[in-house]
Structure 1
């Protein structure tokens, strides 16, 4: 085989496990279910625990099957190392818990996904200040920076109104001010966009979504790009200020986040996610093409008031999305006409499924205000542009004619 760095994304991803020479010549890393490990010399066990020697000590912290998945995602994101978690939310929460302290301040997108928004509000109860700002504007982020600001968090494409953050502008700001730049790449995936290209310090992916792609396993991943200078970050404990300075942040996340919280990704889920990830580019290309055609159809339909999709020319960040991303994603939302009951509409759909997941092979639809953003309350939803008749769509890989027909009959 060619050198790993000379291969294209799809080839490198397909052969990721084989490149690490898994046991017995198998093509996929096997599922290792053991949680305990031993060594011929007990001194080696102690050396592994102390970080002086590579190896496995306990399943809550490391697993061969999970490590293979971490290596795969690191290559996808062009980072230096990755850390797996049980879910994407676990990855976000554990990372912030490990890197922030009481009295710190962080800046986050005002358009965050509902659960992430809820988590960040919970951090306020522990003495961490959070400013929610419009991250489509780097100027708005700059205006929110304080003396105690440590981190900026944004998603690439917001869910469900599809605002596209000024990713490059924020990256420059974070570099100038020495701030950790954490980018959630879930809505785009490493096939459409790599946050390392805009200076991200860390990249979050909910593996449950497009990377796994089949709605059969939960998982999250934190990828360290190696771009942040941890020697200048006061919150790194002395215990972890050793070895390669580029790994100090990840080491602290693994010790104070993954180990102490224990939000561990299981080997069975890791295997499902790794196998699913092999077809990520093919699935994403198809889903994005379907989303573009469905968005254009909905945009011209008299029973739909508004369509939110970065691939449409009237989207406020259309040009930005085209310049940043390989394609403009598989997520879109629509506002139905006022006289259409959103539940009746969903019940009339036959091919499209009413469900809460994203990035599945099947097209999924959900009434946003009544479900995933219900807990926020009407006032906050209104500030985010979420109305009672908004439907979010995660477009799948079905035949596009079948999707268009399904929408036509449901809107008739």
Structure 2
């Protein structure tokens, strides 16, 4: 390592305790104590879930904009989306169509719609966006994305030619789809789908069966929704000339399928897309080490989470990568490209205590990391 090394800090937030900026501040403090002349670069990273828009706005020098849209039950709600340089927009569907917008007793995917997400897309297009990224985690809906596309001008018709509102309960009644009113700006924009699941549209691994119960669906509702989704899938295939019951189509209650069909969206992992948007490969140029991290390192880490995506990018760039994490599960296999793992927890303690001492424990982990790096540098 050079006498004045360059470090890149690219951690996810440690949910409920430390933000990405907090982690970077603690890492930089430890780095400068052991490498006084070092250069430090920081970029906030997210995995496509909650906080993705905020992380990208901060990383790219963008801005938050607000729009009055519909919640999953059609009530007005203020939702924010991100505008990035280069006519790019980032939308978290949960801001308009998310489960937290509903009280537990209101959760019913037969009645919920993604119409508000379509209104957010329309607002972004109104603002001049020509590149739109959709983060589709946390939905309250199982409408196949019909509500979203209806807000963009598509019409879903029953066998008598009457337009349907685009809720989960309407899926079984979709006989045809009219694209004549689809917003022409859709064809002129490029759409990206942050998608970390590979569920198909229908069947035992499909949107309704796997995710419907989380959104308030009873077993009877699940059967109704899955049967309706099968009919909807046939209508999509008849309209677009191809089958959309493919991996990832079942994401967000079928919004994945609609985004692929109506918007021509390209699906990729959330963290992978975030790294692309922030220009992470360029940030790694000339770096001696990258430090990443997350709240808990477990079996899900390798499935598209921030640590695995950052480690893979570092491996491609030939930059060593280590992770400082809040905690880790026993017996979890490593992640390709990750040289070392440093857990912040140093003793057996109740979770509440560990969360309450998160900053102290993380600072100590940063000290351990950079003291060992300094020792290794002295040893040659």
Range into which the TM-score falls when normalised by the shorter chain: under 0.3
Normalised by the size of structure 1, how large is the TM-score?
Answer: 0.24
